[in-house]
C-alpha cells in the first residue's frame, strides 16, 4: 500500500530498495530554505542492520500491511524468544533482536502483541508499563528541591533510570517499557 512519506510512523513496516524495514524513529525536518523532508531511522528485518533514510514529505513509500496477534512470552532459547498462542497453546519462535531496546523489560508470562507480515514476525509490542524492583538508588543530596530533582537508580532488569528522591532500593516501581522512565510507586 503506497503512502506519503510524511505519514511514516514508528512501528510501521515499509519496503525500501527490495528489503523490509521496521521504522524505529521518524522526524520531520523543515530547513530554513527548501522543502521539508522526513528523516527515518529503520532496522532491516533480515539482517538487523540500522540505517537512516531521508525522503521529501511528498514522496511515496510502500507500507506493508501487518497483522497483529496476541501471544504470551514463555522463555528465551538462545537467539529466539519462545512465545505461546493463548488460544491454541502452540509455540512460536521469534528472534530476540526484534525487541530492540525494549528487550530488558520482557517478563515471564507477559502478554505481547506480535506484528506479522505474510506470517513473518516484524515487531513486538510490550505492555506500556511494567513493575520492577529498584536494586540501587543514590542517596538524596541535601538542598535539592524535591519537586524537580530526580536521582539515578538501577532496576532489577539492569536498566538505569531516574526516580524521585523518596524512592529507595528495595521498592517496586512502575516504569514505561518504551523508554524506562518512572511512572509511579507500585501499589500493593
CA pair distance 22, 98, nearest whole angstrom: 9
Alpha carbon of residue 64 to chain centroid: 19
Query: Cell match 523543515: residue?
Result: 30
Question: How many residues are present in the chain?
Answer: 188
pLDDT reading at 146 higher than 70: no
Give tens-digit pLDDT for 24-57. Answer: 888 989 988 888 999 999 988 888 788 999 999 8
Cβ contact 163:153 at 8 Å: yes
Per-residue pLDDT band at 130 (split at 50, 70, 90): very high
pLDDT at 34: 86
Which cell numbers hold the place of 88? Answer: 491454541
Q: What is the 8-class DSSP label of residue 125?
A: E
For the chain, give percent helix, strand, coil, nearest 5: 5, 50, 40
Mean pLDDT along residues 82-104: 88
pLDDT reading at 63 higher than 80: yes
pLDDT at 101: 77
pLDDT at 38: 93
Of residues 49, 25, 107, the one with CA closest to residue 73: 107
- pTM over cut 0.85: no
pLDDT at 147: 56
Per-residue pLDDT band at 110 (split at 50, 70, 90): very high
pLDDT at 143: 64
pLDDT at 125: 87
Largest CA distance in the chain: 58
Cβ contact 99:107 at 8 Å: no
Which cell numbers hold the place of 116? Answer: 506479522
Mean pLDDT along residues 151-166: 93
Alpha carbon of residue 31 to chain centroid: 29
Query: Cell match 493463548: residue?
Result: 86
Amino acid at each position: 500500500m503506497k503512502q506519503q512519506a510524511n505519514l511514516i510512523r514508528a512501528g510501521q513496516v515499509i519496503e525500501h530498495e527490495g528489503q523490509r524495514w521496521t521504522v524505529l524513529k521518524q522526524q520531520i525536518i523543515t530547513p530554513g530554505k527548501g522543502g521539508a523532508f522526513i528523516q527515518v531511522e529503520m532496522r532491516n528485518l533480515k539482517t538487523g542492520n540500522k540505517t537512516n533514510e531521508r525522503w521529501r514529505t511528498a514522496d511515496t513509500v510502500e507500507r506493508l500491511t501487518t497483522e497483529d496477534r496476541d501471544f504470551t512470552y514463555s522463555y528465551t532459547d538462545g537467539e529466539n524468544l519462545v512465545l505461546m498462542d493463548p488460544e491454541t497453546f502452540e509455540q512460536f519462535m521469534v528472534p530476540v533482536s526484534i525487541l530492540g531496546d525494549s528487550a530488558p523489560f520482557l517478563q515471564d508470562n507477559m502478554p505481547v502483541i506480535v506484528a506479522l507480515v505474510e506470517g513473518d514476525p516484524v515487531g513486538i509490542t510490550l505492555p506500556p508499563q511494567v513493575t520492577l524492583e529498584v536494586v540501587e538508588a543514590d542517596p538524596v543530596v541535601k538542598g535539592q528541591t524535591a519537586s524537580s530533582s530526580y536521582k539515578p537508580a538501577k532496576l532489577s532488569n539492569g536498566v538505569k533510570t531516574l526516580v524521585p528522591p523518596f524512592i529507595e532500593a528495595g521498592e517496586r516501581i512502575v516504569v514505561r517499557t518504551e523508554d524506562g522512565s518512572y511512572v509511579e510507586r507500585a501499589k500493593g
